[in-house]
A and B are shown apart, each in its own frame.
Chain A
Amino acid sequence: MAEYIKLIDLTKCTGCRACQVACKQWNELPAEKTGFSGSLQNPLDLSYDTWTLIRYDEIENGSGMQWIMRHDACMHCDWPACVKACPSPGALVKTETGAVVHNPKYCIGCKACVVACPFDIPRYSKKEEKIAKCTLCYDRITDGKVPACVAACPTGCLKFGLKEQMIEQAHKRADAVGGAVYPSNPKYETHVLYIMPTEIQPAQLQHVNPNPKMPTTMLWWKNLFKPFTLLGIGGVAGLAALHYMIKGPHRVSEKEEGGEADG
């Protein structure tokens, strides 16, 4: 199966929240009780039942206030930190499409993925003792459809397609509007790309990691200390066996008899 990318063109988002609604509808997620918070952003954050939402940022720049609406959801990392952290096989899987999918059946609610994620995406439910997040509509894209959010988007802000084509399109569009493609770390690729308008730096937006990467502590944990645990146990056991064969056990009674003979 081919690899896909979802492209989010921030120059085209009008904040209509059709993606937010379509996500709820397709994934059969219940509505949340929300309140007035002085922002159009509603609900205020992602949750176990809200896998995507539009975030509204008001940014002061030279020419005045700029309003940025941003579709926020799982970035579907190519080398996902959440999958690396997950202790339960099958609970979080990077699929051949590039989509990183959670399976509630296997999730044990350990929350390691929530901590590991460089984009702060998985959300934990105390009640269900499980996590949930955007699946890039894995059930739709493997059936030849685009994700529900993309299908609902009326402005062409959200696009979905083959990886190579989308990367090409992203850079073309970024050049055309004088913006940049986010994220830009070649060592930490994602299956979701943003086209940031010229004047916007990722660090200016809420809930955006300006430099997403695999957490360093994760590399130390999984690539160093994890194998060291077995190496340490096996190595010391091996040394002990060697010691036993070379030096043998330290028997008290023999020494005692020797001591008495000396005396």
Chain B
Amino acid sequence: MAKQEGMVRVTDATERITHWLLAGSCLFALLTGIGLMFHQWEIIPTLLGGYYATKWMHIFSGVVFAVSLIAAMIMWWNECRFVADDGKWILQAGGYLWEAKDLPPAGMYNCGQKIFFWFVVVFGIIIVLSGLVMWNPLIFPVALARWAYMLHVMSVFAVASFTIAHIYLGTFANPGTVQIMFTGWATKAYCEEHKGRWLADRELKAEAESAAE
């Protein structure tokens, strides 16, 4: 997208596509998983063409989730390393629950987003590995296969709950955020507020580059 006045480009297309592949496959797997786990939610498999079709849709969305999780890990691993300021940020709950006095400026991602990333990585890996066992459980020892079913649902509980918070914080709670994952652009004011350290680093870099020219 062309450069816009007063706007900062935060994400590139690769990042946005990876994010939505991960999010879309995760939510679709969650939907089909709920349809398979709760007999009361028969409406989901019914709308999707029956339980057999839903089983395969669940497996395929799981495969997409696994691939996009790997891509997300490669892309965000370094950006989501914790720094000293993150401790200060999380101790004040990012200013979301009470008035924070001296909230340190965040980098590309704040501490909460980083925690969410590592949460998805850890439990996402458990979900993928246990899901692979559940796909073909008869080639594994039965005790391991039984653990897989339990760990799969336990990790889904953990990730799904956090995901709701992630969706809320990215939309209603912080207007201007979700656009970063749609168009890639955010206002300069938004970046100063939410990605202060990242913006400052970026501007320093731009200055150095223009000075070099």
- A residues within 8 Å of B by Cβ? 85, 87-89, 91, 106, 108-112, 114-116, 120, 124, 215, 217-218, 220-221, 225-226, 228-230, 232-233, 235-237, 239-240, 243-244, 247, 249-253, 255-256
Type the 1/0 row for B26-39, where 1 means its CB is closer than 8 Å to any CB of A: 00000000101111
Which listed residue (B150, B168, B193) contacts A255, Cβ 8 A?
B193
Contact A89 B168 (CB under 8 A): no
13 pairs, A vs B, C-beta closer than 8 Å: A87-B37, A87-B55, A108-B55, A110-B55, A218-B149, A221-B149, A225-B150, A225-B156, A230-B38, A232-B160, A232-B164, A244-B168, A256-B192
Contact A233 B37 (CB under 8 A): no
Contact B176 A252 (CB under 8 A): yes
Contact B138 A221 (CB under 8 A): no
Any A CB within 8 A of the CB of B18:
no
Contact A229 B37 (CB under 8 A): yes
Contact B138 A114 (CB under 8 A): yes
Closest chain A residue to B146, Cβ basis? A217
Please name 5 further chain A to chain B contacts, defined as beta carbons within 8 Å, in addition to the given A114-B138, A256-B192, sorted by A numbering: A110-B134, A112-B137, A115-B142, A120-B142, A221-B153
Top 5 closest A-B pairs, CB basis? A232-B161, A240-B168, A236-B164, A87-B36, A217-B150
Per the 8 Å Cβ criterion, residues 125-183 of B in contact with A are 134, 136-138, 142, 145-147, 149-150, 153-154, 156-158, 160-162, 164-165, 168, 172-176
Contact A85 B149 (CB under 8 A): yes
Interface residue count for B (Cβ, 8 Å)?
45
Contact B160 A233 (CB under 8 A): yes
Q: Which residues of A contact B38 (CB under 8 A)?
A: 226, 230
Q: Which residues of B contact A217 (CB under 8 A)?
A: 146-147, 149-150
Closest chain B residue to A85, Cβ basis? B149
Q: Which residues of A contact B134 (CB under 8 A)?
A: 110, 112
Any A CB within 8 A of the CB of B79:
no
Known contacts A217-B150, A226-B153, A252 near B194 by CB under 8 Å: yes
Type the 1/0 row for B96-118, where 1 means its CB is closer than 8 Å to any CB of A: 11000000000000000000000
Contact A226 B172 (CB under 8 A): no
Interface of A is mostly: helix
Which listed residue (A88, A229, A256) contacts B157, Cβ 8 A?
A229
Which listed residue (B161, B172, B174, B175) contacts A236, Cβ 8 A?
B161
Closest chain A residue to B147, Cβ basis? A217
Q: Which residues of A contact B160 (CB under 8 A)?
A: 229, 232-233
Known contacts A115-B142, A221-B150, A235-B161, A256 near B189 by CB under 8 Å: yes
Contact B189 A252 (CB under 8 A): yes
Contact A112 B142 (CB under 8 A): no
Per the 8 Å Cβ criterion, residues 50-64 of B in contact with A are 51-52, 54-55
Known contacts A236-B165, A243-B96, A108 near B150 by CB under 8 Å: no
Contact B164 A108 (CB under 8 A): no
Contact B153 A106 (CB under 8 A): no
Known contacts A108-B51, A226-B153, A244 near B172 by CB under 8 Å: yes
Q: Which residues of B contact A111 (CB under 8 A)?
A: 136-138
Closest chain A residue to B94, Cβ basis? A250
Contact A244 B173 (CB under 8 A): yes
Contact B153 A225 (CB under 8 A): yes
Contact A220 B174 (CB under 8 A): no
Which listed residue (A89, A228, A250) contacts B174, Cβ 8 A?
A250
